[in-house]
Amino acid sequence: MKKIILVLLIMIITTLVSCNLDDNNNPFTFSVLYNETEDNPYSEDWAILDEYKNEKNVIFDMRLGDDSDYEEVIELNLESEFPPDVILKVWPDTIETYANDGKLLALSEYEDLMPNYQDYIEENDLQDNIDELRLANGKYYILPGYQRELQVQQWIYRQDIFEENSISTPTTYDELFDALVILKGIYPESTPLTASWGGAHLLSMMGAGYGIPAGWSGTRFYNEENDEWNYSPATENYRELYRFLNECYAAELLDPAVFDQSNDDFIEKIVTGKALVTVTWVSSGFDNWNQQLEDNGVIGGNWTALPAMESTIGITGLPPVDRFRKGLAISANATTKPYFEDMLRFIDWAVYSEEGIELTYWGIEELTYETTADGKVFLPNIITSKNSDGTISTKEYGFDLLFNLCEDEEFEDNKKPDDIVLFLNNSDNANETIAVSPKLLLSNDAVDMVNIVMGDLSIYVDDASKKFITGELSVEDDWDTYIAKIEELGYESLKSIWNNAWRDQNE
């Protein structure tokens, strides 16, 4: 009888252990909001999804949002009855309201579950950057990815045209102006200086040369010398920026279509020989544009990067580069899910471990890359900026799309032409990027007040900006009236809100 009981006990224990093992082998699933793009539509067949399942026992309940309208997608999802567990591609300023409303998880409370994250922060000396993500309650609600302070937005110019006409590479805005006057005389049908994005990109680049944010770099900035926050469109430096651009416009150097042309129109000027100088991202080099120049009959056309130039007030600068790359957020109700801790551990591995980062960007060895004595290289069939003869992109396998928060320097440099890597390293060593303003913590009420003031103020300033550049308003005769108008619209109250918050923040 005792033997029978013993056998039964062994059978019961074996069954229980087997059930537990089966449970442990079952994949767990959590929901992910993914910013789908037209160029890279989501596919259930992505190799990276199989790798996650095979290696980490994870399956995603993928929710898709249009990347072109992603902020609205995030809002709709967080307001829904069943918000996604994970929201990819978020920024501190766009999630702050949701955090304050209790819709997001305070990730600062769960650092102990993410050892790779803690190691990443320590190894890259990012603790101060993490502290800048904290809200007024001392907590942060975003898992961040970081990058080098390497400015890939640069000036570029038609080097062949300058050399053909024995014009030296300009090192100042004044030299640029003089060079373009000469070239406009030689090529009267050209639009020597052009840009896209409604001029916001050009203003951002040029604003750095005047020590201020402009264009899509924003309007608020910190003056370290005076320990105060200022509104850049009210500064004399902005006035000098307008003065220079107005001179370019009056001399027919600045493209009159710069404020409203489409990106297609901009590209057409780049590849048909009409444009001579512009600003753009340089990471991929210019082989494509140069080939299109040749196809359009411009033999020997050569776009190349132009080192940052000194402005008319003596500053050589490029827009600041925030080390923050992008982040992800987690819904507050995720803590109630049985897989919550497993999900955090997976994210910690996928985003911050060396193995996870390598999988995210490089893919799978022998499928997308191989390791050589000189490091990792993509296989010959993989399309890269250096290999247009490839037949498939790594993104068709799902790589470099999901948890690509943290920069992989080897991967990023591998994508760039060698001359661009050298150019950017030289730019970085020259410390040409201006400093990022520190984090300013605003209460919900302060944010609401700023938004109210900014409404009419931004509309007026944007309109006045175009008019100063085109000469409809005079930087000499109309500046005082302009300042009086923005005072009437409340720009001084903006400064008060910002500086009161700054004092409270530093007490």
Mean pLDDT of 300-316: 97
pLDDT tens digits, one per residue of 135-180: 888 999 999 999 988 999 999 999 999 999 999 999 999 999 999 9
Q: Sketch the domain layout of the chain as residue ranges.
A: 10-148+324-407, 153-306, 444-505
CATH superfamily, region 10-148+324-407 = Periplasmic binding protein-like II (3.40.190.10)
Per-residue model confidence (pLDDT) at position 267: 96
pLDDT tens digits, one per residue of 17-28: 334 433 457 899
Is the pLDDT confidence value at 320 over 50?
yes
Per-residue model confidence (pLDDT) at position 94: 83
Kindly state the helix (H) or strand (E) to which residue 355 belongs, with its residue range. helix 354-362
CA dist., res. 339 & res. 29, Å (int): 8
Mean pLDDT of 86-103: 90
Per-residue model confidence (pLDDT) at position 388: 81
Mean pLDDT of 422-450: 90
Confidence of residue 7 (pLDDT cuts 50, 70, 90): very low
Residue burial 42-65, b: 16+ Cβ < 10 Å; e: rest: beeebbbbebbeeebebebebbeb
Is the pLDDT confidence value at 409 over 50?
yes
Return the number of other C-beta atoms located less than 10 Å from residue 207's C-beta: 26
Confidence of residue 76 (pLDDT cuts 50, 70, 90): very high
Per-residue model confidence (pLDDT) at position 12: 44
Is the pLDDT confidence value at 88 over 70?
yes
Per-residue model confidence (pLDDT) at position 317: 95
Question: Best-predicted range by mean pLDDT among 18-32, 317-331, 471-485?
Answer: 471-485
Is the pLDDT confidence value at 92 over 50?
yes
Is the pLDDT confidence value at 435 over 50?
yes
Return the number of other C-beta atoms located less than 10 Å from residue 108's C-beta: 17
Confidence of residue 95 (pLDDT cuts 50, 70, 90): confident
Per-residue model confidence (pLDDT) at position 136: 81
CA dist., res. 262 & res. 281, Å (int): 17
Hunting for tokens 């411009």 — which residue is that? 298
Per-residue model confidence (pLDDT) at position 116: 97
Looking at every residue in the chain, the average pLDDT score rounds to: 92
Mean pLDDT of 28-42: 94
Is the pLDDT confidence value at 109 over 60?
yes
| The two three-digit tokens of residue 459, written as one number | 């509309």
Amino acid at 462: D
CA dist., res. 65 & res. 47, Å (int): 21
CATH topology of domain 153-306: D-Maltodextrin-Binding Protein; domain 2 (3.40.190)
pLDDT tens digits, one per residue of 251-298: 999 999 999 999 999 999 999 999 999 999 998 899 999 999 999 999
* DSSP letters spanning 144-192: EEE--S---EEEEEEHHHHHHTT-PPP-BHHHHHHHHHHHHHH-TT-EE
Is the pLDDT confidence value at 491 over 90?
yes
Closest by Cα among 437, 435, 434, 433 to 220? 437
Is the pLDDT confidence value at 126 over 80?
yes
Mean pLDDT of 79-83: 92
153-306 shares the fold of 10-148+324-407: yes
Is the pLDDT confidence value at 9 over 50?
no
Is the pLDDT confidence value at 4 over 70?
no
Comparing 468 with 8, the larger pLDDT belongs to 468
Q: Are strands 143-146 and 86-90 parallel, antiparallel or unpaired?
A: unpaired
Per-residue model confidence (pLDDT) at position 296: 97
Determine contact, residues 308/203, Cβ cutoff 8 Å. no
Bridge partner list, 32: 62, 86
CA dist., res. 327 & res. 48, Å (int): 20
CA dist., res. 113 & res. 341, Å (int): 7
Per-residue model confidence (pLDDT) at position 322: 86
CA dist., res. 159 & res. 306, Å (int): 9
Mean pLDDT of 8-36: 63
Per-residue model confidence (pLDDT) at position 6: 44
Lowest mean pLDDT of 112-116, 212-216, 358-362, 373-377, name the range. Answer: 373-377
Per-residue model confidence (pLDDT) at position 202: 96
Side-chain-side CA neighbours of 293 within 13 Å: the count stands at 20
Per-residue model confidence (pLDDT) at position 21: 33
Q: What is the pTM of this model?
A: 0.80
